Amino acid sequence: MTSTSREKICDLVIKELPMALFIVDDRLRIIEFNAAAEEITGWPRKEALGRRCADVLASSLCTEQCPLRESVENGRVCRERDALIRTRSGQKKAIILSSVALADGDGALEYGIELFRDATAIKKLETQKKNLISLFTHDLKVPVAIAGGFLDRLLQGKAGPLNDKQVRYLESIRREIRRLEGYILSFLDIARIESGRLELHVEPYDLGPLLREIVEGFKVQAAKKRIRLSLHLPPSLPTVAIDALQMNRVISNLIDNAIKYSYEGGSVEVIVHEGEGGPVVEIRDEGPGIAPEEQEHIFDSFYRIPENGAGHVAGTGLGLAAVKAIVEAHGGKVRLASEPGRGSSFMVMLPRAAESRKENGPDR
């Protein structure tokens, strides 16, 4: 291939690239400017050429910390920076910017390449999602709490004696209210996590009794599907540093999912063992498993796995996102190991609170 052919190919790539691109020289003046950059910035190519890139983008990012200068200093690509620019008409526009610099023999900037795309639609969706979460949580939380409070008073006989059928009906309603409260808590957690306001009340805690209580609470649900639910504890465990209420939600969510997605007559095991940094709580099921292409999205907010052999499972797609965020807020990690047709294992890795250890009773 001749040098002329290479130049033609490069020119064609720059011109037709769907992502905005411009190239600057050592003085940060634009020497190439493609059609996508024209569309996003509103600057015609002829007017942009020869101008400084900071004048065309009109972004505080350019003045506070030039990505191209940073790329030269660090010797690497500056990837996926959020930036707010002003178009030629003065309109503010959100973009996502990547920058790479080519240095000369003395390590100074020789040429720079800026790649960016319009992020207006993405930012708008993020704002709408946050507003929706806020609306649902605040407008639903209060009436659900009031309904639950009056229901508890009815079950306590505050409005008079109840017969067995009435108790069964009211308990069914209470279960559904608690399920709805769980959804609302997940919404609230996501809202707090995304705004950096998730608060944990961490203290040293004995993991054994907490897990026994959680597992015992799922025995009835598991029995309805003839699922064998078991807990396996080692002879001793270190004390863990956790918010017990939030960690209860984490483990409960994982056990609930394991039961829901398991086949009738299968088994769900909660196994605790020592990891490198502390105890690991593993929830293992014999369900349909999760395909590799689904696993990379499994902890994303609002992501739902397509229906599989376990049938339709209700949910919001927020549970696992909240699980990951809560565990990571504790300084821990959550991992998934799964193979289609052979079940799944979710592993919650927790930090130790101290080197002191608690003796545990027999497994259940």
- Joined together, the tokens standing for residue 282 give 């593993």
Q: What is the mean pLDDT of residues 41-53?
A: 94
- The mean pLDDT value for 68-95 works out to 85
The region that residue 90 occupies, defined by phi over 0 for left and psi between -120 and 50 for alpha, beta otherwise, is left
DSSP string, 50-83: TSBHHHHH--HHHHHS-HHHHHHHHTS-EEEEEE
Q: Mind listing the pLDDT tens digit for each residue in 19-37?
A: 999 999 989 999 999 999 9
Average pLDDT for 97-101:
87
For residue 203, give every residue at least 6 positions away whose Cβ sits within 8 Å of its Cβ, in sequence order, or none. Answer: 241, 242, 243, 244, 353
65, 67, 41: which is closest to 55 by C-alpha?
41
Tokens 């503010």 correspond to 92
Q: What was the pLDDT predicted at 238?
A: 79
Number of residues assigned to the chain:
364
Does 356 have pLDDT greater than 50?
no
In angstroms, the CA 85 to CA 91 distance is 8
- Is residue 178 over pLDDT 60? yes
Strand-by-strand arrangement of the 78-86 sheet: 30-33, 20-24, 109-118, 92-103, 78-86
Cα separation, 186 vs 322, in Å, equals 6
| pLDDT tier, 279 (very low <50, low <70, confident <90, very high otherwise) | very high
Task: Tell me what the mean pLDDT of segment 157-179 comes to.
Answer: 90
Give the mean pLDDT of the chain. 85
On the question of pLDDT at 325 being above 60, the answer is yes
Q: Given pLDDT bands bounded at 50, 70 and 90, which one contains residue 50?
A: very high
317: pLDDT strictly greater than 70: no
Please check the confidence at residue 357 and state whether its pLDDT lies above 70: no
The stretch 144-157 carries a mean pLDDT of 91
DSSP 263: P
Sheet holding 352-359, edge to edge: 203-205, 236-242, 352-359
pLDDT higher than threshold 50 for residue 113: yes
Better-scored residue on pLDDT, 321 or 284: 284
Q: Using one digit for the tens of pLDDT, what is the confidence trace for 286-316?
A: 989 988 888 888 887 766 766 555 554 555 4
Determine the pLDDT at residue 358: 46
What's the rounded Cα separation, in Å, for the pair 94 and 122? 9
